[in-house]
Structure 1
Amino acid sequence: MGEATGKLSLRSQEWIQTALFQLMEKKPYSLISITEIADKAGLARQTVYRNFQDKDEILLNYLTRLMSGVWKHIDGGQPYTEAMFVLLFRTWKDNIPPSLILNIKGQDRKIRQLIFRSICDCHDELFIGGSRGEGGTKSDIYRLYGQKSFSALLHMMLIEWTLQEFHLSPEEIGKVVSELSASMRKFL
């Protein structure tokens, strides 16, 4: 019974996510309601709320899975290599839904905030072990600022590269990010 319920929940989550992206093709993210998402998915609002706290969680779930999918290829190695940056940008370009690109180009601030949050959350969890450096040593504090600066750089480059319609190849933008982030990575 539990396995069937889990599969049903996963299917509902996929429908909800698909409905959100379909709605984003015609309407800015910030103007979409849970009721519209539920109607588009053919589900009751209660089903949406059983699976997600709000619409931000729907999008954040997608973005976090996308980011985590990149970082899981590290296999215990150095996470800040040029090859990892290339993989990040290639994965972004190959997997970002067109409706999300539309909303980025529409300058929806909420979209940008959620992208930044997904980068920070993945970075915190996978590379810092959830530690945020508050109240720690001077080295911990520098690490915190280095991490936030690094996350901000990745966010800004993903957004700008998207706005510029991926004018550089993933290899080129990965190299740029690797070079720009070299001093920040010393603190990580």
Structure 2
Amino acid sequence: MQSGKLALRSQEWIQTALFQLMEKKEYSHISITEIADRAGLARQTVYRNFQDKDVILLNYLDGFMKGMWHDVGVGMKTTFDEEMFVLLFRNWQRNAPAALIHSILTKDRKIRQLIYKSICDYFDELLASRRNEPGENGEEAMHTHGLYAGKSLSSIVHMMLIEWTLNDFHLTPEQIGSVVSDLTASIRAYL
């Protein structure tokens, strides 16, 4: 990746171009050449910044997840609780780009896969920071349960986020956050 202000500006232009194209065209049919043309950059500049278009979108989604806590003035939370879920759903409803919502509504599988990956990556990062905290029980079984509990939690949050979006945000963020909290209570006991 490039470094400095120029690289950051190029990355912003590339992400903006991708979202503009997604408003008119299916994600899977968008090429790097089209993204570069829309951004007013050479293809080589796109490739210097991102390996492919999936990395462009994942970079945005990773920033979206991490920025969620910054936007509300909270450090990166390590507690998986109802408040965290409410914040996630509220941030999604308020700030997810229209092109991303449109791609979900058209049932684009690749977009769903990338959203799932970003949720998994984010939760994995949170869980890794918790593993560095002193624990009560260092048993291998708890580690194994924790690993699969983290993936199960990611799956449920992802599925609920997609269904909530498909249902036009029919519940408030507080309501959907409460549902997710209730559904994942037994899973979170292993985290």
Confirm or deny a common fold (TM above 0.5).
yes
Q: Provide the residue aligned with 1:99 in structure 2.
A: 99
**Per-residue CA shift, 1:25-48, capped at 9, x if unaligned?**
010101100000000000000000
Identity %: 63
* CA-atom RMSD in angstroms: 1.8
Which residue among 178, 182, 185 is the counterpart of 1:182?
A: 185
Give yes or no for the alignment of 1:149 onto 2:152. Answer: yes
Mapping for residues 35-50 of structure 1, pairs under 5 Å:
35-50=33-48
Q: CA deviation at 1:100?
A: 0.7
Question: By how many angstroms is 1:184 displaced?
Answer: 0.5
Q: Give the length in aligned residue pairs.
A: 180
TM-score (norm 1): 0.90
Unpaired stretches in structure 1, ≥5 consecutive residues: none
Deviations 1:118-171 (A, max 9, x none): 01111111222497xxxx812111111111100000100110111011111111
The one-letter amino acid of 1:124's match is: D
Alpha carbons of 1:64 and 1:149: their partners in 2 closer, same or farther (altered >3 Å)?
same
The reply to whether residue 115 of structure 1 matches residue 115 of structure 2 is: yes
| Kept after mapping to 1: 8 A contact 2:69/2:77 | no
2:170 paired residue number: 167
Letter in 1 for 2:188: R
What code does the residue aligned with 1:175 have? S
Counterpart Cα distance in 2 of 1:119 and 1:61: 12
Q: Where do 5+ consecutive residues of structure 2 fail to align?
A: 132-138
CA contact (8 A) 1:25 1:102 kept: yes
1-structure distance, mates of 2:104, 2:179: 21
> 2 CA distance for matches of 1:96 and 1:71?
15
